Amino acid sequence: MDIGLVGLGKMGGNMRERLRRGGHTVVGYDRNPDVSDAASLAEMVEQLPSPRAVWVMVPAGEPTRATVAELKDLLSEGDVIVDGGNSRWTDDLANAESLKDKGIGYVDCGVSGGVWGLENGYALMYGGDAADIEKVQPVFDTLKPEGDFGSVHAGKVGAGHFSKMVHNGIEYAIMQAYAEGWELLETAELTDNVTEVFRSWREGTVIRSWLLDLMVAALDEDPGLSKIAGYAEDSGEGRWTVEAGIEHAVATPAITAALYARFVSRQDDSPTMKAVSAMRNQFGGHAVRTAPPKGGDAAGGDGGPDQSTASQQAGAGGGHESAES
């Protein structure tokens, strides 16, 4: 099928490539002209046949809201917008409502897979009306991993991003447990080779996982994690998960503790947070903080200057620059 893709950063660019390998026609727009297929959002839309489908992969919050608003003026009844970034589910409700008067469909899609998704596929959690999802189902089928799992219609609009939010909250807690275990093994002085202990857990144990694989990869690259500062950002979704737990009176002590540990990491150089930061870098290419050069500032951080329009926001970096995965 034909689809427009707004935002060609680390994930958006790889998604365009995976879709093209699957036989789809993708017209991508990015504020970086070196990677963009169109000079503007309007030009991208003009190249799409009706009914048109546009996938948005720009940073969550105002960049996504502005992009959806700009697309509303460019699209027509029967078209559909997919937000594949890491928007808060409440934004999905507002976006879908704003598009109703023009008859434009809206699907929210939580995406996990990070920089590995091009080859392995992306886990997809999407919400919206069945008729709107049917219009973009071929794209979902191409992006997902091979096999029976990795893709789900989670429910109505907002359900996709809500599910991805909870996924990331769980991810916080799992990474925190691995990281604390690594620090304990390193500190106890009984274990001669902590990296090999972690490697041995990859087969036959109940705690084996892809995150464990990535932890081992990070330790192979830097056994003591000496090149990484004990500082870990939070993408926002961990906070939203804790807030949702409070709203629904569901206790989330492990996720909450993992979130608070990241806050503490910004005060002290924590060995545990070195491990969390290393895992985040492995699966998502997230920036890590390194020791500052003499007379300079430390490298890393997830931020960047704000842009004023949707067209400017649809730039390199995509919707997952500061998301977990």
Domain that holds residue 260: 165-284
pLDDT, residue 319, reads 40
pLDDT at 234: 80
State pLDDT tens for residues 60-112: 999 999 999 999 999 999 999 999 999 999 999 999 999 999 999 999 999 99
Residue 160: Cβ-neighbour burial (10 angstroms; 0-12, 13-18, 19+): buried
- The pLDDT tens digits for 3-32 are 999 999 989 999 999 999 999 999 999 999
157 & 193 share domain: no
C-alpha dihedral, 86 to 91 to 93 to 99, nearest 10°: -100
Q: Are 179 and 275 in contact (CB under 8 A)?
A: yes
Q: Are 218 and 282 in contact (CB under 8 A)?
A: yes
State yes or no: is 164 an active-site residue: yes
pTM beyond 0.75: yes
Residue 233 lies in a domain: yes
Q: What are 255-274's pLDDT values in tens digits?
A: 999 999 888 878 767 788 88
pLDDT at residue 313 in the model: 44
Average pLDDT over residues 303-319: 38
State which amino acid sits at residue 219.
Answer: L
Which of 144, 164, 237, 324 is the catalytic position?
164
- 159 and 125 inside one domain: yes
More confident residue, 194 or 310: 194
In a domain, residue 58? The reply is yes
In this structure, of 40-49, 50-59, 235-244, 286-295, the range with the lowest mean pLDDT score is: 286-295
* Domains identified in the chain, total number: 2
Token digits of residue 82: 């997919």
CATH of the domain at 239: 1.10.1040.10
Q: If you average pLDDT over residues 179-192, what whole number do you get?
A: 94
Exactly one of 70, 171, 321, 324 is catalytic; which is it? Answer: 171
At residue 280 the predicted structure's pLDDT band, cuts being 50, 70 and 90, is confident
Mean pLDDT rounded to a whole number for the chain = 88
**Would 292 be classed as within a structural domain?**
no
The DSSP code for 236 is S
